[in-house]
């Protein structure tokens, strides 16, 4: 049977897109294959009434890609870009402190455990959802009773889940950051391949990325690098940001950079490798070896919270009223603001790679892939210290289907939605709002993977950003007809 194949690639310099698109027509069947150059990619097949209709559909799809900047290529000439995975933390043990480096005898009062299936780093908790993202690329959103309400599948491991106002993003080992606010996860940022990502944070649509060399980079809403700085250390796991600065933890301590231009404002040494960190309005917190170190945002050293083994994670109650930490021996700690240890209990479900405190509950994601909800109220902790804990509800993870980040519903009617349009400005595809009541000279943050010159889209909402551009929110449909 005769086969017609078209192979295209889009490879942008400076760390831009590096992907392929292939259409193969065999008889009345069209097979589309797409993904990153050098990888097998995803495959979709569809049968038509006859070969002519299959060829017509293939031509249509190829033309769409050509408009986006794809070009005919020979497979295998361009090589795969290296995307180094952020390795799991090494579970070495910190020096013994006062002979106490033993697992706690008492268990924490775990209310429920959601078993995601494989070790998990990503966590985010708010009023509506408890989010977990694991190394298989699975992301689940549960309510506070442990019932699964949302689920997504990303192409690679999830290392962090961060929020920026109403937007929720997941950093993925494929080098992309995905927007999770709609039905389908969309690529919101494509990180340059030479940046070996360790961790991410975001503020006001500007992404801060820490890397294995001890560097930190900020990237705006159009994937344009704002500035890059190299610290005195290596392996920058910790990055936190707010309206005044970026707080970066590395192998020599913590450095603060100015948010606008990246000027170094202060740097404070810490013994040992800084892993994860936390921030409140006035303080930042950094885990290093067996301690949580606190600093004011002016760089003044604060309380040091001493634990008994290497720490993986930390978090605080609002304004630092309580400080929590998790070590590599599955122990959880709680301190008051002055540094007095209030309790140490066993998680019972692995070491906490990440954690967050919310409404008297401590949520952790662990080396076992568990998202656990722990009752951290005074009454529950007092009972746990006497050996009385609730029976934890065990929740199994449901199956997650793969949905392409470029999948789009179509509609002929904008209804109550907002219409945006993709257009070409120089060599770049931009998006602007065309519905009445919006400034059409402003750019609009919009997923790059679904931009098509001349196309119009209907979005749930468009919101104004502080820096003079718009951001789409919610679901996206392509406007046809």
Q: Are residues 332 and 284 in the same domain?
A: yes
Q: Which of 183, 176, 125, 127 is nearest to 152 (CA)?
A: 183
* pLDDT > 90? residue 198: no
Distance between CA atoms of 404 and 42, rounded to whole angstroms? 8
Distance between CA atoms of 224 and 467, rounded to whole angstroms? 14
Distance between CA atoms of 149 and 142, rounded to whole angstroms? 5
**Number of domains comprising the chain:** 3
Residue 374 banded pLDDT, cuts 50, 70, 90 = very high
pLDDT tens-digit map of 69-127? 888 988 887 776 555 454 555 444 444 444 455 667 799 999 999 999 999 999 999 99
pLDDT at 95: 42
DSSP label of 406: T
Q: What average pLDDT does this structure show over 247-269?
A: 95
* pLDDT > 90? residue 348: yes
pLDDT at 74: 86
Phi-psi region of 299 (alpha: psi -120 to 50; beta: other; left: phi over 0): left
Q: Are residues 437 and 346 in the same domain?
A: no
Q: What average pLDDT does this structure show over 265-283?
A: 94
In a domain, 300, yes or no: yes
Q: When comparing pLDDT for 87 and 5, which is higher?
A: 5
Q: Are residues 346 and 466 in the same domain?
A: no
In a domain, 56, yes or no: yes
Query: Is 371 within 8 Å of 118 (Cβ atoms)?
Result: no
Q: Which domain holds residue 17?
A: 3-72
In a domain, 301, yes or no: yes
Q: What are phi and psi of 285, to 5 degrees?
A: -130, 135
Residue 207 banded pLDDT, cuts 50, 70, 90 = very high
pLDDT at 194: 56
pLDDT tens-digit map of 32-60? 887 778 877 767 788 999 999 999 999 98
pLDDT tens-digit map of 128-142? 999 999 999 999 999
Q: Which of 308, 235, 244 is nearest to 276 (CA)?
A: 235
In a domain, 81, yes or no: no
Which residue do the tokens 């933390």 mark?
89
Residue ending a domain, among 72, 93, 118, is 72
Q: Are residues 282 and 368 in the same domain?
A: yes
Residue 387: which CATH number? 2.120.10.30
Residue 449 banded pLDDT, cuts 50, 70, 90 = confident
Residue 19 banded pLDDT, cuts 50, 70, 90 = confident
pLDDT at 385: 95
Q: Are residues 285 and 368 in the same domain?
A: yes
Q: Are residues 343 and 437 in the same domain?
A: no
In a domain, 124, yes or no: yes
Residue 353 banded pLDDT, cuts 50, 70, 90 = very high
Residue ending a domain, among 50, 72, 94, is 72
Q: Are residues 16 and 40 in the same domain?
A: yes
- Helix, strand, coil shares of the chain as percentages rounded to 5? 5, 50, 45
Q: What average pLDDT does this structure show over 283-301?
A: 96
Q: What average pLDDT does this structure show over 18-22?
A: 85
In a domain, 98, yes or no: no
In a domain, 16, yes or no: yes
Q: Are residues 185 and 306 in the same domain?
A: yes
Q: Which of 20, 19, 444, 18 is nearest to 192 (CA)?
A: 18
Residue ending a domain, among 72, 93, 127, is 72
pLDDT at 91: 42
Residue 399 banded pLDDT, cuts 50, 70, 90 = very high
In a domain, 224, yes or no: no
Q: What average pLDDT does this structure show over 221-243?
A: 89
| Average pLDDT, rounded, for the chain | 89
Phi-psi region of 144 (alpha: psi -120 to 50; beta: other; left: phi over 0): alpha
Residue 173 banded pLDDT, cuts 50, 70, 90 = confident
What length is written for the chain?
481
Residue 8: which CATH number? 2.20.140.10
pLDDT at 175: 82
Q: Are residues 390 and 288 in the same domain?
A: yes
pLDDT at 12: 66
Q: Are residues 55 and 168 in the same domain?
A: no
pLDDT at 17: 65
Radius of gyration of the chain (CA): 24
* pLDDT > 60? residue 290: yes
Q: Are residues 329 and 183 in the same domain?
A: yes
* pLDDT > 60? residue 457: yes
* pLDDT > 80? residue 16: no
Q: Are residues 185 and 293 in the same domain?
A: yes
pLDDT at 99: 43
């Amino acid at each position: 049977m005769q086969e017609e194949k078209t192979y295209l690639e889009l490879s942008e310099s400076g760390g831009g897109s590096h992907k392929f698109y292939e259409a193969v027509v065999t008889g009345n069947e069209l097979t589309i294959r797409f993904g990153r150059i050098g990888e097998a990619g995803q495959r979709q097949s569809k049968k038509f009434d006859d070969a002519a209709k299959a060829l017509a559909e293939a031509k249509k799809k190829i033309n769409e890609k050509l408009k986006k900047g794809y070009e005919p290529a020979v497979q295998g000439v361009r090589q795969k870009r290296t995307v180094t995975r952020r390795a799991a933390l090494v579970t070495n043990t910190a020096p013994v402190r006062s002979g106490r480096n033993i697992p706690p005898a008492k268990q924490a009062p775990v209310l429920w455990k959601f078993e995601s299936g494989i070790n998990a780093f990503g966590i985010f908790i708010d009023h509506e959802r408890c989010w977990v993202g694991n190394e298989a690329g699975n992301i689940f959103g549960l309510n506070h009773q442990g019932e699964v309400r949302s689920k997504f599948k990303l192409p690679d491991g999830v290392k962090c889940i961060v929020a920026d106002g109403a937007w929720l993003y997941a950093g993925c080992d494929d080098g992309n950051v995905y927007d999770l606010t709609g039905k389908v996860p969309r690529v919101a940022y494509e990180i340059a391949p030479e940046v070996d990502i360790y961790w991410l944070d975001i503020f006001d649509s500007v992404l801060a990325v820490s890397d294995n060399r001890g560097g930190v980079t900020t990237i705006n809403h159009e994937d344009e690098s704002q500035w890059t700085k190299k610290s005195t250390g290596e392996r920058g796991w910790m990055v936190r940001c707010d309206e005044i600065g970026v707080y970066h933890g590395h192998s020599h301590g913590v450095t603060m950079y100015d948010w606008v231009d990246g000027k170094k404002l202060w740097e404070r040494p810490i013994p040992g490798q800084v892993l994860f960190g936390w921030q409140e309005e006035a303080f930042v917190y950094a885990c290093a070896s067996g301690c949580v170190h606190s600093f004011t945002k002016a760089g003044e050293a604060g309380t040091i919270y001493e634990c008994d083994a290497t720490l993986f994670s930390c978090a605080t109650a609002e304004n630092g009223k309580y400080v929590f930490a998790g070590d590599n021996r599955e122990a959880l700690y709680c301190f008051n603001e002055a540094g007095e240890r209030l309790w140490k209990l066993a998680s019972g479900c692995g070491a906490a790679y990440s954690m967050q405190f919310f409404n008297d509950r401590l949520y952790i994601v662990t080396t076992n892939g568990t998202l656990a909800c722990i009752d951290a109220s005074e009454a529950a902790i007092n009972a746990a210290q006497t050996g009385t804990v609730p029976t934890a509800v065990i929740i199994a993870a449901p199956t997650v289907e793969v949905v392409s980040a470029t999948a789009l519903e179509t509609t002929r009617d904008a209804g109550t939605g907002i219409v945006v349009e993709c257009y070409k400005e120089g060599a770049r595809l931009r998006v602007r709002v065309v519905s009445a009541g919006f400034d059409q000279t402003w750019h609009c943050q919009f997923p790059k993977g679904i931009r098509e010159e001349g196309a119009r889209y209907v979005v749930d909402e468009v919101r104004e950003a502080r820096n003079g551009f718009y951001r789409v929110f919610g679901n996206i449909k392509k406007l046809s007809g």
